[in-house]
Amino acid sequence: MKQGTLNRKQYDKIRKMDHGQMQDYFGGVYALGYEAGVKAASEKREVPELVGLEDELLSIRGIGSAKARLICEKVREFLERKAGHDETGVEISGE
């Protein structure tokens, strides 16, 4: 069955099902949807570019170039972890 489509043949088949058959059918539909959702959620999300962040940090009094670079690295690491992957490329579960 294509996503979001129900033709006449499928409709007639579903309409004639008893309770057990209907439960099995919709259990399968649910499982397919769940698998598609897991797949979509597990794809690596892109981390935004931090172009210009270091320049903005340098405009703050008391932050030098070394400290600004360190802050940029930490922010990038944080965003990569938040996107679902740690430094080794292994997915983090629970987010």
The model's pLDDT over 8-57, given as tens digits with 9 standing for 90+, comes to 998 999 999 999 999 999 999 899 988 888 887 777 666 677 788 888 88
Q: Is the pLDDT of residue 59 over 70?
A: yes
Residue 2 identity (one-letter amino acid): K
At 12 the pLDDT is 92
Angstrom distance (rounded) from CA 6 to CA 15: 12
69 lies in a domain?
yes
At 2, the pLDDT band (50, 70, 90 cuts) reads low
Q: Is residue 84 located within the same domain as residue 64?
A: yes
Q: For 47-51, 57-61, 83-87, which range has the lowest pLDDT when averaged over its residues?
A: 83-87
Angstrom distance (rounded) from CA 95 to CA 84: 7
61 lies in a domain?
yes
Provide the residue range defining the domain that includes 26.
Answer: 8-42
Q: How many domains does the chain have?
A: 2
Q: Which of 10, 34, 36 is nearest to 22 (CA)?
A: 10
Q: Is the pLDDT of residue 80 over 90?
A: no
65 lies in a domain?
yes
> In sequence order, which ranges of 8-64 are alpha helices (DSSP H)?
8-15, 19-42, 53-58
Q: Is residue 59 located within the same domain as residue 85?
A: yes
82 lies in a domain?
yes
Q: Is residue 36 located within the same domain as residue 61?
A: no
